[in-house]
């Protein structure tokens, strides 16, 4: 079983990634330009859900790190089962690095898996980027995870495991966040998307002023 990546909405794929050599050649140029909006937060916070809808509402491309991993390596639960978490973290860091160093993806919305920012290599890539932390609590995610077997790290007691893992990760999410989006209680997507867009407009107009 797969995590709930809204696949139909992910309109960029790993097949779209350009040749790494070409990436290096244009890297200096594009680093000056607009960057992806990166979405982080705990499992089932709604990173993929909010990212997909936000991108669709406001005309951005959407990329999901888990989706890219599944495309390249197959179902996440099978990767964990057959090759272990360490391998998963390695490929996760690779796909994130590919997206963040590709000019092709520079103005997209990019949702990460909940554990990605815990890798120091990934955290380094995220520092200085526009990072939105989707903040939720156990009560918000409870109905989304309690009968769901798609996230290997939450088994066999999803709510208890979620809370333990969240406690270990909350500090890193806060540290990396340029904006914290309160998604507690499963707020309506239109309201959250509008709030996020306002943040982005402000950030980007400040960037333009400073250019
Ligand atoms: N604000 C929300 N309102 C309604 N459903 C939501 C909301 N946020 C998330 N969901 C649902 O919760 C589940 C988990 O969301 P998902 O985006 O996959 O989380 P994440 O990517 O953070 O793990 C999905 O079924 C999604 O549709
Ligand atoms: O938090 C984690 O360690 C994980 C989160 C998952 O993504 P979501 O946060 O989108 O569920 C997925 O990457 C994998 O199951 C591991
Ligand atoms: Mg997700």
| pLDDT at 162 exceeding the cut of 70 | yes
| 89 in a known ligand binding site | yes
Which residues have CB less than 5 Å away from ligand 3 (the ion)?
Answer: 47-48
Query: What mean pLDDT value characterizes the chain?
Result: 87
pLDDT for the residue 163: 98
The reply to whether 201 falls in a domain is yes
Q: Whose CA is nearest to atom 27 of ligand 1?
A: 49
Are 10 and 62 within 8 A, CB to CB?
A: yes
Give mean pLDDT, residues 22-49.
Answer: 74
196, part of any domain: yes
Residue 65, domain extent: 15-210
* pLDDT score recorded for residue 22: 52
Q: How confident is the model at residue 13 (pLDDT cuts 50, 70, 90)?
A: low
Residue 202 — very low, low, confident or very high, per pLDDT cuts 50/70/90? Answer: confident
- 54-73 tens-digit pLDDT: 999 988 999 999 999 999 99
Residue 125 domain flag: yes
Query: Is residue 56 situated within a structural domain?
Result: yes
What pLDDT sits at residue 31?
41
Q: Does the pLDDT of residue 159 top 70, yes or no?
A: yes
More confident residue, 2 or 92: 92
Q: Indicate the angle between helix axes 189-210 and 47-58, nearest 10 degrees.
A: 70
Ligand 1 atom closest to the CA of 3, numbered from 1: 18
* CATH number of the domain enclosing 119: 3.40.50.300
Residue 106: pLDDT band (50, 70, 90) is confident
Tally of domains within the chain: 1
Q: Is residue 68 part of a domain?
A: yes
pLDDT at 184 over 90: yes
Q: Under 8 Å CB-to-CB from 135, ≥6 apart: which residues?
A: 41, 45, 173, 180, 181, 182, 183, 184
In a domain, 63, yes or no: yes
28 domain-assigned: yes
Q: Is residue 204 over pLDDT 90?
A: no
Instruction: Give yes or no for a contact between 154 and 163, defined as CB atoms under 8 angstroms apart.
Output: no
Q: Answer yes or no: is 9 within a domain.
A: no
DSSP 8-state secondary structure symbol assigned to residue 32: T
Report the pocket of ligand 1 as residue ranges, CB < 6 Å. 4, 41, 43-49, 111, 144, 183, 186-187, 189
């Amino acid at each position: 079983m797969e995590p709930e990546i809204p696949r139909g909405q992910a309109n960029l794929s790993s097949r779209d990634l350009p040749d790494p050599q070409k990436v290096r050649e244009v890297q200096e140029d594009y680093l000056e330009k607009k960057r992806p909006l990166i979405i982080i937060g705990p499992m089932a916070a709604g990173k993929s859900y909010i990212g997909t809808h936000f991108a669709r509402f406001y005309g951005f491309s959407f990329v999901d790190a888990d989706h890219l991993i599944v495309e390249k390596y197959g179902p996440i639960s099978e990767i964990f089962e057959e090759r272990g978490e360490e391998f998963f973290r390695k490929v996760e860091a690779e796909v994130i690095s590919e997206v963040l160093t590709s000019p092709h993806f520079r103005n997209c919305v990019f949702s990460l898996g909940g554990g990605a920012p815990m890798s120091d290599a990934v955290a380094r890539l995220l520092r200085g980027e526009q990072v939105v932390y989707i903040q939720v609590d156990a009560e918000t995610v409870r109905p989304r995870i309690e009968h769901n077997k798609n996230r290997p790290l939450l088994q066999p007691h999803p709510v208890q495991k979620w809370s333990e893992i969240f406690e270990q990760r909350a500090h890193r999410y806060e540290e990396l966040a340029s904006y914290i989006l309160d998604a507690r209680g499963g707020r309506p997507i239109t309201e959250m998307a509008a709030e996020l867009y306002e943040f982005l407009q402000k950030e980007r107009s400040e960037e333009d002023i400073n250019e």
